[in-house]
Structure 1
Amino acid sequence: MRLARLGERGAERPVVLDGDRVLDASGVVADFEGDAFAPQSLDRLRAALADGSLPEVPDAAGLRIGSPLARPNAVICIGQNYAAHAAESGAEPPQNPIVFLKSPSSICGPDDELPLPPRAERADWEVELAFVIGTRALYLDSPADARDHIAGFLAADDISERAFQLDESGGQWSKGKTAPNFCPLGPWIATADELSSSGLSADDLRLRSWVNGDPRQDSRSSDLIFGIDELVWNLSQYMELVPGDVILTGTPQGVALSGRFPYLKEGDVLEIEIDGLGRQRQQVVGARA
């Protein structure tokens, strides 16, 4: 299944995308958050989709695409998880996953505007494969146990203000990661069976980004230093992962921090795309309260 949310911010409705049809899921789940990602909830959605009981949304084409999940308990991010990106950042590949957090308030829809903070000087893009937790994970025995705890996969852009992240952070990156709309998600969440039915695997998806139509990043999730299963297992040794939590797995080379490209400025158009997970488009705008 492909899960999405449509409507104005704060009033989105959960939908299932079935080919060209957009089906209202609000009769099965109140919203896509928390236990709505549990296996039994997703099974109810699959059953409703199969028996034709989900009504079509007639005005879907004219509705805003929101984040495909409501505000989660946590947005957990992995830093420098591609060797080439670590190198362009001036660092050696990490021996253990680097973990930082984004504020849930940074989440927005895939095509919402990207307002720069008032003092922003070095705003950057980071296309990332993300996934949503479906069942509680804590102190897992091995990475082999991890995949059963994932509800689905989605595209994310880990927008970063590098001056805040590196110069004003005191060593903690989150200051440069948590401004409003610094975490566009979607346009949809694809369950693992949805990817496999398209001949795709989350372990080897192509990730790309563009600024004003010019290519920036182009890599594959198979190049991750710490793969999906290892990340779930590793994180579970330090924290409780609960349904609806979002984990961003890191970005490949090709960001402005490399020095090869200019940082984002007002008027730029930023786009990212991941195979099977859709495309995002953000217009960069000036600061707003």
Structure 2
Amino acid sequence: MKLLRYGPAGSEKPGMLDDQGRVRDLSAHVADIADEVLTPEGLARLAALNPADLPLVEGTPQRDLRLGPCVGNVRKFVAIGLNYADHAAESNMPVPSEPVVFNKWTSCIVGPDDDVRIPKGATKTDWEAELGIVIGKPAAGVTVEQALEHVAGYCVVNDVSEREWQLERGATWDKGKGFDTFGPIGPWMVTADEIPDPQNLSIWLEVDGKRYQDGTTKTMVFGVAELVAYCSHLMTLLPGDVITTGTPPGVGMGQNPKVFLKGGEVMRLGIEGLGEQTQKVVSQG
């Protein structure tokens, strides 16, 4: 299944994408794509529905029908750094021996095609196309072998980053990772049964039509199962929590000379089987 949330920002309704790429309304069955809806039991109930019996939503998704973040009520937005060896190299940082874990504030979450706003005075805003994991079954202290049982599905994430605040303003990466609009999620969450091998997905990002990132999740240092297990020892993972898993090489900071977003650009990114995002970059001065 491809589950999504559609409508105006802050008033999104739950939906499902049918085989023809049209949105079907789920409001009669669930209040949101969130919380217990993402548990194995909740997903099983949705899977039992016939999309053809659900009300058809007017409009074409991502054209004249806005899609919001594909998951509602995200309580934790956990991020992993330097999880591709070649990205660590372009960042002039060592490949980590354990996952690098930081936070993106949940207030940064926006829809897949909403504008990304450069913070006022910022000069080093950058992009990062990433595979997002959506937790379904609560996880606390799980093993690597158990970990994938706790995954509801996957989505595209743009881990937008302000490098000065991340790296030059007195430690803790979190400072540069959670500005408003720095967490586009979606367009939809694809349930885990449709992605049998999350370690075999192509991932890419373009800015103004120029492809900067063109990688594959095969080259992750720590795979999805390892990351879920590791994070579950640091915190209890709850339904709807999102873990974004790191980015392949090709970020602006890694270019020679470096390339940062100034405003007016258009970012386009996607992951095989998970859809695409498009964001206009807006300068706030």
TM superposition score normalised by structure 2: 0.95
SS in 2 for 1:237: helix
Structure-1 residue corresponding to 2:139: 137
SS in 1 for 2:212: strand
Q: Percent of counterpart pairs with the same letter?
A: 42
* Of 62-71 and 209-218, the range deviating more from structure 2: 62-71
- Asked if 2 retains the 8 angstrom alpha-carbon contact of 1:6 and 1:64, the reply is yes
Alignment deviations for residues 205-225 of structure 1 (CA, whole Å, 9 cap, x no partner):
000001110010111111100
Structure-2 residue corresponding to 1:249: 245
* Of 64-73 and 237-246, the range deviating more from structure 2: 64-73
Alignment deviations for residues 174-205 of structure 1 (CA, whole Å, 9 cap, x no partner):
11011111010110110122235xxxx31110
Structure-2 residue corresponding to 1:47: 48
SS in 2 for 1:128: strand
Q: Does 1:87 align with 2:89?
A: yes
Q: Does 1:206 align with 2:208?
A: no
Structure-1 residue corresponding to 2:284: 287
Matches within 5 A, 1:226-241: 226-241=222-237
Cα shift at 1:276: 0.5
Matches within 5 A, 1:50-69: 52-61=52-61, 62-69=64-71
Structure-2 residue corresponding to 1:124: 126
Query: Aligned letter for 1:35?
Result: E
Structure-1 residue corresponding to 2:255: 259
Cα shift at 1:71: 3.3
Cα shift at 1:28: 1.5
Cα shift at 1:275: 0.3
Q: Distance in 1 between matches of 2:19 and 2:121?
A: 43
Structure-1 residue corresponding to 2:162: 161
Structure-1 residue corresponding to 2:11: 11
- Deviating 4+ runs (over 3 angstroms): none
**Counterpart among 255, 262, 275 of residue 278 in structure 1:** 275
- Asked if 2 retains the 8 angstrom alpha-carbon contact of 1:6 and 1:60, the reply is no
Query: Aligned letter for 1:271?
Result: R
Matches within 5 A, 1:140-151: 140=142, 142-151=143-152
Alignment deviations for residues 80-119 of structure 1 (CA, whole Å, 9 cap, x no partner):
0000000111111000000000000100011101111001
- Asked if 2 retains the 8 angstrom alpha-carbon contact of 1:7 and 1:64, the reply is yes
Q: Distance in 1 between matches of 2:211 and 2:145?
A: 36
Cα shift at 1:63: 1.9
Cα shift at 1:278: 0.7
What is the root-mean-square deviation of aligned Cα atoms in Å?
Answer: 1.3
- Asked if 1 retains the 8 angstrom alpha-carbon contact of 2:35 and 2:73, the reply is no
Structure-1 residue corresponding to 2:213: 217
Alignment deviations for residues 147-168 of structure 1 (CA, whole Å, 9 cap, x no partner):
0000000000000000010111
* Of 53-62 and 118-127, the range deviating more from structure 2: 53-62
Cα shift at 1:60: 4.9
- Asked if 1 retains the 8 angstrom alpha-carbon contact of 2:140 and 2:235, the reply is yes
- Runs (5+) with no aligned partner, structure 1: none
- Asked if 2 retains the 8 angstrom alpha-carbon contact of 1:37 and 1:151, the reply is yes
SS in 1 for 2:246: coil
* Of 11-20 and 148-157, the range deviating more from structure 2: 11-20
Number of positions where the alignment pairs a residue of Structure 1 with one of Structure 2? 281
